Amino acid sequence: MSPKNKTIQLIELGKMPYQQALELQEKLFRETIAIKRENRARSTQFPTKNYLLWVEHNPVITLGKSGKQEHLLLDEQQLKKKEIDFYPTSRGGDITFHGPGQIVGYPILDLDNFFTDIHKYLRFLEQAVINTLAEYGLEGTRSEGETGVWLDVGTPFARKICAMGVKASRWVTMHGFAFNINTDLSYFDHIIPCGIQGKGVTSLAKELGKEISFKEVKEKLEVHFAHLFEASFILKSD
């Protein structure tokens, strides 16, 4: 068993196309799994690394493994005209939108360093967002059977503020969560978000009636993330 490494390297990507961020995720994901395979094959104990990538994407619609193509309400020509990219992905979940004004977090964690429980992992991601919303006076909640964070669940005004979809192999995670901050919500009119009909989508800015600092939100998320995972963050230097 490798020694547990509870340090998470923060990687600030700024604005980046979805495909480019995906390639980086896959590279780090493969590298981590390769270390674990070598440790098992050679009985070595090289520690694995953990990462959290912060990124803001150009407009893109992604479809998860359990997603349905009919939840995309635009054809290829309409996507091109509106300058929206489209990608089928390996994450769980259905269809969602990423774009400007949205904080996307991609944790690439070796859960052997923390706990080997995907259900718990997802609940911790949700809780980090719920705790952050509470700092803004908003009560974020879960909706039974639906991954992510919502407001006013159980009412006609239920609306989603953070979507999630992950992939894991050998307890290494990738993909993550998309938290609407200053997002142009009209983009969500082009999909049936997460395949869920009859519920709205919202953003932190819409709820508070003002634009919100990305830096401030990320700092709050990091505090709650570190507390839940009993981890520490360092900025990746290279």
Q: What is the topology classification, in CATH, of domain 7-235?
A: BirA Bifunctional Protein; domain 2 (3.30.930)
Question: CB within 8 A of 131, min separation 6: which ones?
Answer: 220, 224
Question: Beta strand pairing status for 172-180 and 159-169?
Answer: antiparallel
CA neighbours within 13 Å on the CB side: how many for 16?
Answer: 19
List Cα–Cα distances, 168 to 92, 117, 175, in angstroms: 9, 11, 9
Is 238 a residue whose pLDDT tops 60? no
Average pLDDT over every residue of 76-88: 89
Is 90 a residue whose pLDDT tops 80? no
Is 225 a residue whose pLDDT tops 80? yes
pLDDT in tens, 103-145: 999 999 999 999 999 999 999 999 999 999 999 999 999 998 8
Maximum Cα–Cα distance across the chain: 57
Q: Mean pLDDT, the chain, as a whole number?
A: 92
Question: Beta strand pairing status for 159-169 and 146-151?
Answer: antiparallel
Which pTM was predicted?
Answer: 0.92
pLDDT in tens, 194-210: 555 556 899 999 999 99
Q: Which positions are annotated as active-site residues?
A: 194
Token look-up 């070598």 returns: 38
pLDDT at position 127, please?
Answer: 98
Is 99 a residue whose pLDDT tops 80? yes
pLDDT in tens, 26-78: 999 999 999 999 999 999 999 999 999 999 999 999 888 777 788 888 888 99
